[in-house]
Amino acid sequence: MSVLRSARRLAALSAAAALLAAAHPALAQSGSGRQPAPKGAEVYFHYPLDGLRVPERFTVRMGLKEMGLAPAGTEWPNTGHHHLLINTEPGPPDQPIPADYNNIHLGNGQSEVVVTLPKGRHTLQLLLGDHNHVPHDPPVMSRKITIYVR
Ligand SMILES: [Cu+2]
């Protein structure tokens, strides 16, 4: 997808989210300024699992309980999109998750992503973000796993 098309799509999604928020005041953010996470919400790895040896190119598969996936920019209760944190720590929970080589946004609502990593030890962690890429309250986050690329 071209950058322009992406920008147009984002603008359209943001406009849709604004309309939804206007039509449904209950969708407004919680007192913390962050979207509330429902009780029992959990994000986890289907693959790889902690301690696994993997090839340089592999697919990370994610699971989510008690919440749904939505594209970034779509404000809808109890939804979010996945972020894969590679060899990094989560930032402050009230700040948007950065977008860089260590923080992969699955902004179309995907539940899997192909990654290529150099040989050696790496850590992976999942963190759900809301329509604005901000973690929920409390954050919906997996534990950090270690994998070995061979
Ligand atoms: Cu994001």
Residues 12 and 78 in one domain: no
Ligand 1 center–CA 97 separation, angstroms: 6
Ligand 1 center–CA 136 separation, angstroms: 12
Q: What is the pLDDT of residues 31-90, one digit of tens each?
A: 788 999 999 999 999 999 999 999 999 999 999 999 999 999 999 999 999 999 999 999
Domain count of the chain?
2
Cβ count within 10 A of residue 16? 14
Strands (E) in 40-136, as ranges, are 42-47, 53-54, 57-65, 68-69, 79-86, 103-105, 112-116, 120-129
Residues 6 or more apart from 90 whose CB is under 8 A from it? 97, 125, 127, 135, 139, 141
Residues 133 and 65 in one domain: yes
Ligand 1 center–CA 117 separation, angstroms: 21
Residue 22 has pLDDT above 70, yes or no: no
Quick one: pLDDT at residue 25? 40
Q: What is the pLDDT of residues 73-131, one digit of tens each?
A: 999 999 999 999 999 999 999 999 999 999 999 999 999 999 999 999 999 999 999 99
Ligand 1 center–CA 148 separation, angstroms: 26
Quick one: pLDDT at residue 32? 81
Ligand 1 center–CA 104 separation, angstroms: 8
Model-wide pTM > 0.85: no
Domain ranges, residue 83: 32-149
Q: Would strands 145-149 and 53-54 be described as parallel, antiparallel, or unpaired?
A: parallel
Cβ count within 10 A of residue 142? 19
Residues 43 and 111 in one domain: yes
Quick one: average pLDDT of 14-25? 42
Residues 26 and 38 in one domain: no
Among the listed residues 145, 109, 146, the one whose alpha carbon sits nearest the alpha carbon of residue 129: 109
Residues 1 and 56 in one domain: no
Q: Is the dihedral of CA 87, 90, 91, 97 positive or negative?
A: positive
Residue 13 has pLDDT above 70, yes or no: no
Residue the block writes with tokens 């997808």: 1
More confident position, 13 or 38: 38
